[in-house]
């Protein structure tokens, strides 16, 4: 068979889980995101790293339907998010930064609410809520109001809400912030098995070591631009991800400043 006929018999290549094309966003005079292009392959565990104020949260907010871009397109598994936000959000799980939750509900009620909102039936929602509370070590606090949760518990219950409908793409902004090491390890296991079963995770983090160990792809962004993107090995080369990050981003200021802060007089 000639090669072109062979190609015709192959299924179309699956689109990436997330494709960002030419995303821009300005807040007043501040350009937070200045033309970001990113391809997140389906089935990847993708890290998004960058210094404070780099534009990570703004990018992820635009990628998940929380913030309208000034320009650019967002395709989730080939579907235009901003053309069909309701349809696309059905396959999307989001843990936004600085989550505002209905915190007068208990943890169990909040996860149940998220499940029902996504159209799950009551039985499935109840079973998944119990599973998630156990997996995230929240079962003992299932009947506690979320307003009385600690920062880490709040993060975990928000993650449960992002997972309850078994999305195809999970977008997590700083999921490990304020979370204790045991819970973090449990969350990493949950995410690793989710990816192994075909799901895609994109996660922002400031912890380079974690991203290097956990993710297979990474993008470094600063000043609203992508500085480097690809597999973790491609981006870091022979260095650690942390060293490569510092090399790309710069900004080390040395220890000479703040002389007034030194307590010794000599």
Ligand X SMILES: Nc1ncnc2c1ncn2[C@@H]1O[C@H](COP(=O)(O)OP(=O)(O)OP(=O)(O)O)[C@@H](O)[C@H]1O
Residue 87 engages ligand X in binding (rule: CB under 6 A)? no
Give the whole-angstrom CA distance, residue 163 versus residue 158: 9
Residue 230 engages ligand X in binding (rule: CB under 6 A)? no
Measured from the CB of residue 164, what is the shortest distance to ligand X in angstroms? Answer: 25
Q: Please give the full DSSP string across 213-236, using - where no structure is assigned.
A: HH-SEEEEEETTEEEEEEEHHHHH
Q: Which residues of 141-154 are buried (b: 16+ CB within 10 A; e: fewer)?
A: bbeeebeebeebbb
- Count of residues binding ligand X (CB under 6 A)? 11
Residue listed under structure tokens 């235009």: 80
Measured from the CB of residue 129, what is the shortest distance to ligand X in angstroms? Answer: 30
Stretch that binds ligand X, among 26-34, 177-185, 193-201, 232-240 (CB under 6 A): 26-34
Measured from the CB of residue 94, what is the shortest distance to ligand X in angstroms? Answer: 15
Residue closer to ligand X (CB basis): 56 or 165: 56
Residue 50 engages ligand X in binding (rule: CB under 6 A)? yes
Which H or E run contains 112?
helix 107-117
Residue closer to ligand X (CB basis): 114 or 218: 218
Count of H-run helices and E-run strands, the chain: 10, 10
Copy the structure tokens of residue 238. Answer: 């022979």
Q: Which residues bind ligand X (CB under 6 A)?
A: 27, 30, 32, 50, 52-58
């Amino acid at each position: 068979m000639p090669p072109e006929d062979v190609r015709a018999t192959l299924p179309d290549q699956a689109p990436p889980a997330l494709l960002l094309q030419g995303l821009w966003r300005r807040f007043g005079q501040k350009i937070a995101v200045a033309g970001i292009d990113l391809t997140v392959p389906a089935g990847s565990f993708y890290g998004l790293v960058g210094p404070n104020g780099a534009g990570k949260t703004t990018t992820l907010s635009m990628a998940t339907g929380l913030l309208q871009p000034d320009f650019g397109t967002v395709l989730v598994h080939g579907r235009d998010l901003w053309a069909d936000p309701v349809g696309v959000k059905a396959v999307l799980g989001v843990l936004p930064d600085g989550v505002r939750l209905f915190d007068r509900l208990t943890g169990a009620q909040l996860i149940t609410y998220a499940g029902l909102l996504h159209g799950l039936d009551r039985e499935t929602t109840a079973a998944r809520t119990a599973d998630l509370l156990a997996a995230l070590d929240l079962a003992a606090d299932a009947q506690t109001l979320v307003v009385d949760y600690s920062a880490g518990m709040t993060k975990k219950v928000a993650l449960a809400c992002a997972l309850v409908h078994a999305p195809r793409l999970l977008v997590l902004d700083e999921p490990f912030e304020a979370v204790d090491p045991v819970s973090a390890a449990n969350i990493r296991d949950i995410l690793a098995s989710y990816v192994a079963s075909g799901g895609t995770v994109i996660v922002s983090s400031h912890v380079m070591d974690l991203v290097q160990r956990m993710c297979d792809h990474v993008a470094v962004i600063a000043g609203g631009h992508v500085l480097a993107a690809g597999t973790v090995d491609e981006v870091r080369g022979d260095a650690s991800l942390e060293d490569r990050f510092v090399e790309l981003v710069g900004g080390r200021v040395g220890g000479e400043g703040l002389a007034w802060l030194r307590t010794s007089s000599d």
